[in-house]
Each structure stands twice: as structure tokens, then as C-alpha cells.
Amino acid sequence: MFNKMQWPRWRSVISLFLAVMATCLVGCGRANVAQPTTYSAEQIAQLEIFAPRVTELRDRFPELEDYIQKKDWVDISSFIHGPMGELRVRLERVAARLLPQAAEQAKYYAEEIGTHLEKLDAAATDYNQIVAGKEYREALDDLDAFIALIPDEAV
Ligand code: ZN
């Protein structure tokens, strides 16, 4: 049975209990929700090294469009096997450093880009400007989708 002497003590026990619960909710919530979707400073630092090597090739990508428009078939092939020959490895290095879900998507886009470039190379061998242009645009879309997966702090 409560009486007027005991009640203040109960109240302090209840408020202590509520305070502990609130702390736990805030703390646990933070750990469960935010951590897996956030890059550590070290991961960002790594991506800052590898991401520019991808965006550098993205910047050179329109050179291919130029060759396609000029029907410069020889330069399409040498560009794919030359400067763009590094692209796949560079994409893999970035993909491996992304958070798991983004990494999975990035690997998909890396595969796609590789396939489009192979088809573009084949189209150049066949002097097929229409297919070359189509594969070029698809490769570019996939490359942009890949770059969009990289956290903004690292690009
Ligand atoms: Zn594609």
C-alpha cells in the first residue's frame, strides 16, 4: 500500500526507469539505423583516392562520341583498348570500397559498361555507326549510374 510518505520515492524510481529507457532507445536506434548506411572517414579517404580515377575516364568518354560521329573506326578501337582499357579495373577498385548494397549495384553497372564497350568495339569493326552510337550511350548511362553510387564527399 502507498502512503504519502512513500510516493515521492516511487516517483523517483519511475523517472529513473524512464530515463534509462529513453537513453537506450536513442542509443540503440542510432546504432541500428545510421551505422550501416554511413561511410567511415577512412572509407571516404580511400574513395577519394580511387573515385577520381573513374571520373577522369568519364571526362574523356565523349572523345568516343567524336570518333563515332567521324566514323573514325580505328581510333574507337584504340581508345577502348588504350585509355579505356583501365576502366574496368578502376571501377572494380571503387566498387569494392562502397557499402554492401551500393557495391552490389556498382558491380552490376561495371559489368554492363564492359559489355557495352565490347559491343561498341565490335560495331567499330563492322563499321556500324548506329550500333556504335547506341552502345556508346548505354555505356555512358551505366557509367553515370555507377558514379552516382559514390558518396558525394569522395567525388
Ligand atoms: Zn547497360
Q: How far is the CA of 114 from the centre of ligand 1 (A)?
A: 9
Higher pLDDT, 151 or 23: 151
Q: How far is the CA of 32 from the centre of ligand 1 (A)?
A: 34
Q: How far is the CA of 68 from the centre of ligand 1 (A)?
A: 18
Q: Answer whether 114's CB lies under 8 Å from 88's CB.
A: yes
Q: How far is the CA of 147 from the centre of ligand 1 (A)?
A: 14
Q: Which pLDDT score is estimated for 34?
A: 45
Question: pLDDT tens for residues 17-52?
Answer: 556 556 545 554 444 444 457 999 999 999 999 999
Q: Answer whether 76's CB lies under 8 Å from 68's CB.
A: yes
Q: How far is the CA of 43 from the centre of ligand 1 (A)?
A: 28
Higher pLDDT, 15 or 17: 15
Q: Alpha helix (H) ranges present in the chain?
A: 7-33, 41-60, 62-69, 73-81, 87-95, 100-125, 129-148
Q: How far is the CA of 139 from the centre of ligand 1 (A)?
A: 6
Q: How far is the CA of 88 from the centre of ligand 1 (A)?
A: 14
Distance, in Å, from the CA atom of 54 to the CA atom of 75, rounded to the nearest integer, reads 21
pLDDT tops 70 at residue 146? yes
Q: Answer whether 49's CB lies under 8 Å from 96's CB.
A: no
Q: Which pLDDT score is estimated for 155?
A: 86
To the nearest 10°, report the CA torsion of 107, 109, 114, 117.
-170
Q: Which pLDDT score is estimated for 17?
A: 55
Element counts in the chain: helices (H) and strands (E)? 7, 0
Q: Which pLDDT score is estimated for 37?
A: 76
Q: How far is the CA of 137 from the centre of ligand 1 (A)?
A: 9
Q: How far is the CA of 102 from the centre of ligand 1 (A)?
A: 17
Phi then psi for residue 39, to 5 deg, are -85, 140
Q: Answer whether 140's CB lies under 8 Å from 48's CB.
A: no
The structure's pTM equals 0.76
Question: pLDDT tens for residues 63-96?
Answer: 999 999 999 999 999 999 999 999 999 999 999 9
Q: How far is the CA of 109 from the centre of ligand 1 (A)?
A: 7
pLDDT cut 70: percent of the chain above it: 77
Please say whether the dihedral angle defined by the alpha carbons of residues 135, 141, 142 and 146, taken in this order, is positive or negative: positive
| In the chain, beta strands by DSSP E | none
